[in-house]
């Protein structure tokens, strides 16, 4: 399983150091939560922040994964692709022409993903699943860091895992995002997730990043 720290709770005054510390501790997947203040309540950052992080990720052979929690993602796909994202994930809830959006991401040379809010059924991606490289199951309602994991997300992950496996789509990553910590990471892995997004479980104020990551890795090893 990949541990994918979200930089949302990192110290932005020293973001390069924060990202490098995670990579030095063995992380090879970086998650960028992009929020617009419309689809979700908060505003975070845009493609300009991705550009300086991409060369750091490239030095470690790491993946840069943009999670677009924005109301009109089609307008910005080219910008995030040009900034260097490897995966671009959009929300099913805001894409009236989801298949076209997915194909546009693919045409830009990037790996498309689709995210589902806690109340959005898996049926929303059934007809595009074979076109995806990533399915993101939200285990909190998007828009804020530090929320508590919604327990029903484990069953949703299991059902998503079956859906992927029954279609023989072994290359599709199953990502979970929201409230995942050292006490839950093994459970989401056992439910079928292959990528766990972690925010404050890595970027907690005053905590050593390597120690936090080691705690997560230890939890996965037991």
pLDDT at 190: 98
What average pLDDT values come out for the chain (222 residues) when binned by 10 residues? Answer: 95 96 98 95 94 97 98 97 98 98 98 98 98 98 80 98 98 96 97 96 92 97 86
Which sign, positive or negative, has the C-alpha torsion 195, 143, 160, 188? positive
Give me the domains of the chain, ranges plus CATH numbers: 2-221 (3.20.20.70)
Rounded CA separation 213/152 (Å) = 25
pLDDT at 81: 98
pLDDT tens, residue by residue, 100-131:
999 999 999 999 999 999 999 999 999 999 99
74 catalytic residue (yes or no): no
Active-site option among 65, 86, 133, 177: 177
Active-site option among 33, 36, 65, 86: 33
pLDDT at 205: 87
pLDDT at 108: 98
pTM score: 0.96
215 catalytic residue (yes or no): no
3-state SS record for 121-147: CHHHHCCCHHHCCEEEEECCCCCCCCC
């Amino acid at each position: 399983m990949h541990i994918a720290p979200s930089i949302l709770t990192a110290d932005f005054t020293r973001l390069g150091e924060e990202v490098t510390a995670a990579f030095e501790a063995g992380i090879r997947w970086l998650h960028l939560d992009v929020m617009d203040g419309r689809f979700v309540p908060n505003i975070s950052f845009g493609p300009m922040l991705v550009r300086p992080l991409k060369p750091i990720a490239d030095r470690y052979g790491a993946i840069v994964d943009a999670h677009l929690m924005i109301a009109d993602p089609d307008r910005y796909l080219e910008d995030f692709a040009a900034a260097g994202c490897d995966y671009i994930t959009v929300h099913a809830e805001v894409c009236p022409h989801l298949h076209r959006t997915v194909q546009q991401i693919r045409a830009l040379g990037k790996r498309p993903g689709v995210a589902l809010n806690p109340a959005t059924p898996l049926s929303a991606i059934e007809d595009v699943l074979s076109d995806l490289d990533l399915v993101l199951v939200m285990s909190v309602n998007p828009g804020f860091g530090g929320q508590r994991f919604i327990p029903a997300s484990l069953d949703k992950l299991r059902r998503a895992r079956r859906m992927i496996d029954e279609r023989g789509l072994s290359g599709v990553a199953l990502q979970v995002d929201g409230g995942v910590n050292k006490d839950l990471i093994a459970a989401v892995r056992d439910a079928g997730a292959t990528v766990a997004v972690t925010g404050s479980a890595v970027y907690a104020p005053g905590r050593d990043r390597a120690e936090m990551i080691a705690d997560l890795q230890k939890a996965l090893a037991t």
